[in-house]
Amino acid sequence: MINSMTGFASGELATAAGSLQWELRSVNHRYLETQFKLPDGFRTLEPLLRELVTGKLLRGKLDANLQFRPTSEAASNLQINTELVQQLIAHAQTLAGQMDNPAKFTAIDLLRWPGVVAQDAIDTRALYEPAQQLLREMLDDLCAARTREGARIQTLLEERLVQVSVLVAEVRKRMPTVLENIRVRVKERAESLSARIENDRLEQELVILAQKMDVAEELDRLDAHVEETRTAFSMDGAVGRRLDFLMQEFNREANTLGSKSADPETTKAAVDLKVLIEQMREQIQNVE
């Protein structure tokens, strides 16, 4: 079963030092791209976290946000760098005097400034393993969400593949009639000409014309692409690019079918095929 690249997962873990919360969001992307947002004290953990992600995901853009909320007891031991705070206030007041309409600078802004709140009061290294374990669980939840979305996409693709097969069967069934109509029209036009045309020469021209208008090869390829697409659904790993390539081949055959069309019904079938192919292609952009 195919997987989507779109998904969301979040979870929280309570520890003695505080609570850890992961929030994962993934969308479609050509490759696997992961962006971490980690609090101070956890940034050295990023290489290990990336290994966990690459072990679970193959494609997609993942935004992974880790939040750490210390307990009230742990937070009470935090230390404020008062010297840095005084410097920030002095610089802010100096800049405010040089501006016409300065924005208000609050205490919260000061606390968010890097280095104002000392993190050494909390041993974040003890939280590395819990943070990794929570990420593993959230990645499992994310993969489950992407699998559910992939199942929905596969259902939509299957419905359109059935419609493609129906259109191909209708065109194939109609082709003998189309070719016979071409033969009749050419003969009638030849008979209306004052010049006499030999029957052998006329038959040769009719055969050449029938070959140019024959779309049996394109119809066979469309059927083959339908089967190849269904085969891709059962493959392991990332199949999104394979499916995208197949959609290009589908579109190529539909274009050829339209260019060879010798009657309005075949032209309409070619247009309907292109609409279905475009609908599938849009869905496949989200397939891993």
Mean pLDDT for the stretch of residues 227-237: 93
Least confident window among 13-22, 76-85, 142-151, 201-210: 201-210
Counting Cβ atoms within 10 Å, is residue 198 exposed (0-12), middle (13-18) or buried (19+)? exposed
At residue 30, φ and ψ (nearest 5 deg) are: -65, -40
The token duo for 113 is 């400034």
Tally of CB atoms within 10 A around 227: 11
Residue 16 pLDDT = 86
| Domain locations along the chain | 7-76+124-147, 79-112
Q: What is the DSSP letter of 39?
A: -
In the chain, count H helices and then E strands.
9, 6
For residue 144, pLDDT over 90 is answered with yes
Q: To which residue do tokens 């880790």 refer?
A: 66
Q: To which residue do tokens 């065109």 refer?
A: 171
Percent of the chain scoring above 90 in pLDDT? 56
pLDDT tens figures, 1-55:
899 999 999 999 999 888 999 999 999 999 999 999 999 889 999 999 999 999 9
The token duo for 147 is 């699998």
Q: Is domain 7-76+124-147 classified as CATH 3.50.30.20? A: no
For residue 153, pLDDT over 80 is answered with yes
* Mean pLDDT, the chain, whole residue set: 86
Q: Which residue has the higher pLDDT, 186 or 219?
A: 219
Counting Cβ atoms within 10 Å, is residue 52 exposed (0-12), middle (13-18) or buried (19+)? middle
Mean pLDDT for the stretch of residues 96-107: 75
For residue 143, pLDDT over 70 is answered with yes
Mean pLDDT for the stretch of residues 244-267: 90
CA nearest neighbour of 197 among 187, 208, 207: 187
Mean pLDDT for the stretch of residues 243-247: 96
Work out the pLDDT band at 84, boundaries 50, 70, 90: confident
Compute the residue count for the chain: 288
Q: Are the C-beta atoms of residues 5 and 146 closer than 8 Å to each other? A: yes
pLDDT tens figures, 191-216:
555 455 555 555 555 555 555 566 88
Residues 6+ apart with CB under 8 A from 152: 4
Give this prediction's pTM.
0.74
For residues 103 and 122, what is the distance between their CA atoms, to the nearest angstrom?
A: 33
